[in-house]
Amino acid sequence: MRIALDPQMLRTVPLLELPDVVAGLGYEWIELSPREDFVPFFKHPRVDTATVRALRSRLADAGVGVTSLLPVMRWSGPGEVERQAAVRYWKRAIEICVELGVDTLNSEFNGRPEAPELAEAMFWRSMEELLPILEREGVKLALEPHPDDFIELGSPALDMVRGIDSPCVSFLYCLPHTFHQGDDAPGIIASAGDLLTHVHVADSMDHRASDGLRYITNPPGNTVRVHQHMEIGRGDVDFDEAFAALAGIGFDGVLTTCVFGWDDQARESGTRML
């Protein structure tokens, strides 16, 4: 099993200095999530080939491996212009992944939850273009449902992964999204079995608690999705049952610690989570 750090709270550290910082925190693996000077959210990658090669060298020197890159693009719309742009951005992200010597990309379904059929149609159109490239390049893809995506629940997302029916596509379970996925981590993990290759590890409070009044948003009943990525033990996720479920399927993939929102404690938090 590999334990990785999502360095989102270290995003101001220069890219080429990041491997040494991650190694200094005790990690041997890193998951490269979106950052403005590398692969930003919803935009074309910014990094050039020379920098990718320099980063690969720095990683090797620091003894840090990359479990995966995490592009997040609008490949499920909401419009065709956005979808086509996202596919172009994805193609470049795949090139970066290969140049960096990494064999896995993680991502979200994206798309709008109020128009799930249109979003799904766009998702499949994008997959028709990208899946042959992934398979040709030997790059794997782990997909997760996300709050405010066209698929938010864990079991339907798992069904979608099965429907893609490709040996290079697997399922990612995100523990801080537990209460948006159906609040059944053990059941979803058990159902996923060998399809589960990656788990994001952080805590979150149950937004439904106290009769829905744990978080108050105005006007009442709006469609905002609220969750956090906190250190283990600061929220309501039952880690005992989640880790027991992972043990139950013989999980031997990647666990990424992904605590967000405490930039002033980024290094201390990374150490505590490890």
Q: Digits of tens for pLDDT over the chain (274 positions)? A: 999 999 999 999 999 999 999 999 999 999 999 999 999 999 999 999 999 999 999 999 999 999 999 999 999 999 999 999 999 999 999 999 999 999 999 999 999 999 999 999 999 999 999 999 999 999 999 999 999 999 999 999 999 999 999 999 999 999 999 999 999 999 999 999 999 999 999 999 998 888 888 888 888 778 889 899 999 999 999 999 999 999 999 999 999 999 999 999 999 999 999 9
Q: What predicted TM-score, i.e. pTM, was given to this entire model? A: 0.95
CA neighbor of 139 nearest in space, from 110, 105, 188, 189: 105
* DSSP states of 2-46: EEEE-GGGGTTS-GGGHHHHHHHTT-SEEEE---TTSS-TTS---
Q: In this predicted structure, what is the pLDDT of residue 98?
A: 98
Q: Return d(Cα 233, Cα 75) in angstroms, integer.
A: 35
d(CA 195, CA 253): 10
- Pairing type for strands 2-5 and 254-257 reads parallel
| Contact of 178 with 152, CB cutoff 8 Å | no
Give residue 262's pLDDT. Answer: 95
